[in-house]
Amino acid sequence: MNRAITIFVLAALIALTGCQTVTPAGYYWGNYSKTLYAYTKAPSDETLAQHSAELERIIEVSKDKNLRTPPGIHAELGYIKARRGENALAMAHYESEMQQYPESRLFLERLTTPADGTKR
Amino acid sequence: MDARILISALVLLGMTGCSSVQMGTKRDAYPLMYTDKKPVSMLVVPAINESTAADAGDLLNVTVAQPFADHGYYVFPVPIVAEIFKREGIVEGTQVKGLPTSVFKKNFGADSVLFITIENWDKNYMVVAGNITVGIEYVLLSTETNEVLWSYDQKVVVDTSGSSGNILVDLVATAINTAVAQYVPVAAQVHATAIQSMPFGKYHPQSGADGESRSVNLAAKDAALDPTK
């Protein structure tokens, strides 16, 4: 029973994380859920750095394999960069997200325009 | 086609006497998803948590984007959206449930909004038997018309009981298995099962071509909309 559970958990985790596979919709997710889970369970600079690194890696691999980056990956990384004050990089990532997913434009433009209307 | 109907009929006949599961096609169950009302984008709002696990909503957020994105929808980045809602004091779906969905179109540019209710998120330990149960109710609403585009109710129960036959071994095994069982993979399994009923979105190669797929458990579809549940 133990083994069955282990196998089930592993299979579900693999299904969830996508490992090295590209999903039918054409996305590579890498270890996205694993690093996001770690950060959610125990938020810290370290777990955030690991999640951030995984986002970078997903973007790299997607580029190499000529795939669209999964929805939200560029946006998430841009948000993390913006929090760190790396505004130029943040904007670049938001731009990539908007280019790949035009439906994200209103959302990301609002994210980057402070309430007083000045562009950061 | 005839052979398939015959086989289906035989299977149904074979099932009489047991409760028959009524399955419908995606197009019959969710007709709006085969019109221009099918959304391109989807906003996931904070979950409505009916379980006793305080962290269920946060853990659920880890699992929710991938399955819907893989199904062809643009899902707004869940961690960012969750933080935006939190800053507005919104941590639970019930806080936004009554709002006209046009609010989400206006503020996020979202075509649709997904309300998730966590009905079960528990570990049940009965000494020589145990399980981990995750049950989720999904309702996808159009932000143009407030109409229900897709709905489903899905539960997954993973047995964590020891089954060696030796009662002392099983006692310990059950306790350990239940204690270490992880919610997140089970939640992922719930999404994976429920989403089989859902029409594919724009970014999926089979978008629009799956209308005849008879993968919708009609009781599950209706259960999600039943206010008495």
Q: How confident is the model at residue A77 (pLDDT cuts 50, 70, 90)?
A: very high
- Sort out which chain A residues have CB atoms less than 8 A from B103's CB and list them: none
Checking if the pLDDT of A9 tops 90, the result is: no
CB contact under 8 A, A104 and B177: no
- Output the DSSP codes for B10-58: HHHHHHBTBPPPPEE-HHHH-GGGGSTT--SEEEEPPPEE-SS-TTHHH
The reply to whether A23 touches chain B by the CB within 8 Å rule is: yes
CB contact under 8 A, B80 and A101: no
The per-residue pLDDT for B164 is 86
The DSSP H or E segment spanning B175 is: helix B167-180
Q: How confident is the model at residue A2 (pLDDT cuts 50, 70, 90)?
A: low
Checking if the pLDDT of A11 tops 80, the result is: no
CB contact under 8 A, A72 and B158: no
C-alpha distances in angstroms, B147 versus B82, B207, B226?
A: 24, 21, 15
Residue listed under structure tokens 């991938």:
B66
The per-residue pLDDT for B165 is 85
By three-state DSSP, how is residue A62 classified? helix
CA distance B142 to B101: 7
CA distance B37 to B184: 32
Query: How large is the average pLDDT for residues A56-66?
Result: 97
Of residues A18, A40, A76, nearest to B80 (C-beta): A76
The reply to whether B175 touches chain A by the CB within 8 Å rule is: no
pTM: 0.86
Residue from B44, B62, B174 whose CB has the most chain A CBs within 10 Å, to mutate: B62
The distance of A88 to chain B (nearest Cα, Å) reads 19
CB contact under 8 A, A79 and B77: yes
Q: What is the ipTM of this complex?
A: 0.84
Checking if the pLDDT of A119 tops 50, the result is: no
Q: Check: CATH 1.25.40 for A22-112?
A: yes
The reply to whether B108 touches chain A by the CB within 8 Å rule is: yes
Cβ(B217)–Cβ(B22) below 8 Å: yes
The reply to whether B163 touches chain A by the CB within 8 Å rule is: yes
The per-residue pLDDT for B9 is 55
- What token pair was written down for A50? 């690991």
Smallest CA-to-CA distance from A36 within B29, B37, B79, B149 is with: B79
The per-residue pLDDT for A113 is 78
Query: How large is the average pLDDT for residues A50-75?
Result: 97
Run means of pLDDT, 10 residues per run, chain B, 229 residues? 57 55 94 96 97 94 96 97 95 93 96 97 90 96 96 95 88 88 92 97 95 94 86
